[in-house]
Amino acid sequence: MGKVLMKGNEAIGEAAIRAGCLNYFAYPITPQSEVAEYLSRRMPEVGGMFLQGESEVAVAYMLFGASACGERVFTTSSSPGISLMSEGISYVAGAQCPVVFVNIIRGGPGLGGILPSQGDYFQATKGGGHGDYRLLVMAPASVQETVEMVMMAFPLAEKYRNPVMILGDGLIGQMMEPVEFPDHLRTEPTNKDDWATNGMDTRKDNKQNLVKSLYLDPTQLNDHNLLLKAKYERMKQEDVRYEPYNTDTDYKVLIISYGTMSRVCRTAIDNLKAEGLEVGMIRPQTLFPFPEKAIHDAAIKESCKAVISIEMSMGQMVEDVERCVQGKRPVEWYGKCGGDVPTPEEIMDVVRNWKLET
């Protein structure tokens, strides 16, 4: 199939369909309501299911119920909506259901604003809901990559029986870019007969399946958490994704940046290169599992004097970067909230200033 020009939000909806997910529940919120508008038209065309729930709280449980009977399901929302879904996400993770969530982040806290932000990094990677659970979190930097990540999210969610979150920002949702829906990313849902509540008649063994998260016995609950932990460790082994940029040079500074912000950083890096200053970048594509080793190894390169985490937040990912660098290089943060994306010039200044100080 050739390329089509599409807005990010519509491409998200289409990508899920092309991936083989025909069930969507959602509640409208700016800046991603176009996904619901697009799918309310498109799902009936492909024999799929669209339902606008009464709240994000309810939507999370609609996803839970549908996923628990073995069907592929997904939703899209933005920050305040994801906060409301977080109770449900904790249950979905506890009960090991493969639901896909897309968060097109807007500025916070509270109602915040409707412009692009990366302020939900902690919420996505460290929890949000209660208890010891993790989401597999992917952060796209273009509409094409959003399409691919949405399509990959379903088999990944099923591989781990764990919720997956796509973390984008308002720019990704609103951007128009030519996209392609790669056929090889269409997958068949896995067989879920060993755990899903899809009706005993449909299964060979004719025994009760339970989808639950309650373990009153302390040993059982500990065992359950160990099982979840083993999955998160496996993600770290098998599904870390990142993209290095200009790291085959003797860079003086290493930037860590993801999503739309990393595109601006690329421009800054190209401009600085023209000025004769080499800067490298590691762009995490998965935020959990985090590219710990890649960042560590890139930071301790002989030529590298400092690491700067550049994010549209007041310094969230930088805590993970510090953890990876283990004090072996100074780690700085630069960022902005509110919707003004830092410009290449600003980033160039930040990098140059660092060089001047050393």
Partner 1 sequence: MGKAFKRPESLSENHTHYCPGCTHGVIHRLVAEVIDELGIRGRTVGIAPVGCAVLAYNYFTFDFQEAAHGRAPAMATGIKRVRPDLMVFTYQGDGDLASIGMGEIIHAANRGEKFTTIFVNNAVYGMTGGQMAPTTMPGQRTTTTPFGRDAESIGMPVKMAELLAALETPGYIARQTVIRPKYIVRAKKAIKKAFTYQMENRCFSLVELISTCPTNWGLTPAEAVNWAEDTLLSYYKLGEYKTPPE
Alpha helices by DSSP H, 239-258:
none
**Residue span binding partner 1 (CB under 8 A) among the ranges 48-56, 154-162, 259-267, 344-352:** 48-56
The full DSSP string for 24-89 is EEE---TT-HHHHHHHHHHHHHTT-EEEE-SSHHHHHHHHHHHHHTT---EEEE-HHHHHHHHHHH
Quote the CA–CA distance of 254 and 307 in Å, as a whole number. 5
The residue (of 176 and 200) whose beta carbon lies closer to partner 1 is: 200
Quote the CA–CA distance of 56 and 59 in Å, as a whole number. 5
* 95 to 124: interface string for partner 1, x by CB under 8 A: x-----------------------------
CB of 83 to partner 1, least distance (A): 15
Residue environment code for 260-277, b if the CB has 16+ CB neighbours within 10 A, otherwise e: bbbbbbbebbebbeeeeb
CB of 193 to partner 1, least distance (A): 11
In the list 211, 228, 312, 318, the residue contacting partner 1 (rule: CB under 8 A) is 211
Residues that contact partner 1, how many (by CB under 8 A): 40
Q: At 180, which amino acid appears?
A: E
In the list 198, 246, 267, 271, the residue contacting partner 1 (rule: CB under 8 A) is 198
Contacts with partner 1 in 49-88 (CB under 8 A)?
A: 49, 51, 53-55, 57-69, 71, 73, 87-88
Is residue 197 a contact residue for partner 1 (CB under 8 A)?
yes
Count of Cβ atoms closer than 10 Å to residue 294 Cβ: 19
Is residue 220 a contact residue for partner 1 (CB under 8 A)?
no
Is residue 209 a contact residue for partner 1 (CB under 8 A)?
yes
In the list 109, 131, 178, 199, the residue contacting partner 1 (rule: CB under 8 A) is 199
Is residue 34 a contact residue for partner 1 (CB under 8 A)?
no
Count of Cβ atoms closer than 10 Å to residue 77 Cβ: 26
In the list 38, 74, 91, 333, the residue contacting partner 1 (rule: CB under 8 A) is 91
DSSP 216: -
**Residue span binding partner 1 (CB under 8 A) among the ranges 162-170, 211-219, 286-294, 329-337:** 211-219
Question: What's the alpha-carbon Rg for the chain, to the nearest Å?
Answer: 21
The residue (of 58 and 221) whose beta carbon lies closer to partner 1 is: 58
Nearest CA-CA partner of 97 in 187, 207, 237, 210:
210
The residue (of 87 and 239) whose beta carbon lies closer to partner 1 is: 87
Count of Cβ atoms closer than 10 Å to residue 66 Cβ: 20
Q: Using CB under 8 A as the criterion, which residues of the chain lie in contact with partner 1 when the complex forms?
A: 23, 25, 49, 51, 53-55, 57-69, 71, 73, 87-88, 91, 95, 197-202, 206, 208-214
